[in-house]
Structure 1
Amino acid sequence: MNDQRPGGNPEDPRHDPHDPQGQQPQWGREPQWGQQPQWQQPQGNWHPEGLPPSAMQPMRSPENSEAPVDIETARHLWFGVIGIGLLSMLIGLYSLFTDRDAFLDAFLTDLEAQDPSLALPPETADTVLVVAMVLSLIVGVLIAGLVLLVVRKMRAGKLWARAVLTAIGVVIVVTTIPTLFGLGSGGAIALVTAVLGILQAVAAAGAVYLMHRRESSEYFLSRRSPR
């Protein structure tokens, strides 16, 4: 009986010249009695389930990535600007709706004084006013939605969004300045609307300032896509 180990004979096809004693572990070779099998661990970034740990981590979108505190604060201030704008519009429309009879009388009187041929029946004028108020509400909500979308893009680090919001903030502040000189004139609704306008201007100015601070500018520059 030939008790020579497999691979030890040079004529054996399983012979390895670099392993003259035939002890190199190979896949499919049964281990000898009392010898533990030598399994080779996979190389690289290995995971028991077959996926690297980095592949199992959820990818963060630009909107969910970390941003400076100034950007987060500016984003919340813009939320306040949008909310105050919608509230002011609702108060104005409510005031116009409750006093629409007096408004229509003054409007029809001025219209008839300018051109008698343009005179409208009161019922038609009332319908036109209600339709115009509904359209104003729809347009106001759409504009608020667009501004909210721009705020989201600003949070993601888009420079064009910061430029658009800066222009909106400047317009709000400039148009609110005359309100400061007329504060206190008019009724209660006019006073509430004026106060809301001032708060909106302050929030917009603060948001514009925070968006242009040094850390915020560095954040926007770091988010620029490579050309």
Structure 2
Amino acid sequence: MKTLKKYLSIMHLGIKSGLVFRANYLIKLATQALSLLVTLWMWQWIGDGQKSDLSSISQYLIITNLLSLLFSISPAFSLANLIKSGKLSFYLTRPVSLYGHLYLQFLGGQLPLLAVYLVAVLAMHLSAGIILSLFLYVLVASIMFFNLMMITGSLAFWLINLWPLRSGLYAIYLLLGGLYFPLKMLGSQIYAWLKYNPFSLVTDIPANIAIAKVDQLQSYYLSAVVWTIVFYLGYRLIYAKGQKKYEGVGV
């Protein structure tokens, strides 16, 4: 019970932190909305008046861009900043899992965005079964994506500058996550493999499920679970090797 209370308090702090810095949410939403408007304008120009295709693409891009806010790359740089600043030493001496601390803190901070996402899903008038499937899938996918970010953040043990990593990671997210265009446009053969990449699983797949009202999630669940295990084992290995190099600089 004490352990549960301890971790719930961490999540509560994440929620409070998100609400205190709510201006960050507004700026983030405004920036993403502006980027989305530019993308939609581009597709309207390319579509040359094909309203049916534009409507479908618009729905897809709105959902994927909203999900990109929910599945943020920020945990990678939360861990990286702890390593580079030397503040990781403080967490290593506390009787709490660093992994659990960072995940619950991140989850708590994302709850307002999760509420926005749920409102958007309910506005689509999906069936209760699809909504439940989406909720469970998003929960599994969030752990999978968080594990990938932990691997990325652990690279700070070896990297001096982190800004190229952020730019590169976000560029990959834009392309492989379907934030610029529906990934199905690349062709069925390419998409058959590309849809199982981690970035597609957190944005492209949920968007297609919501739009097409597809409830066959077994293969995507399995892919997310496999990636979750692979990324977690990779994180533990890289983090363990990185700790041998860690000197607590900045403490």
Bin for the TM-score computed over the shorter chain:
under 0.3
Larger Cα-atom Rg: 1
TM-score scaled by length of structure 1 = 0.25
Q: Which has the higher helix share?
A: 2
TM-score scaled by length of structure 2 = 0.23
Work out which structure has the larger RCO, using CA pairs closer than 8 Å and 6 or more positions apart in sequence: 2
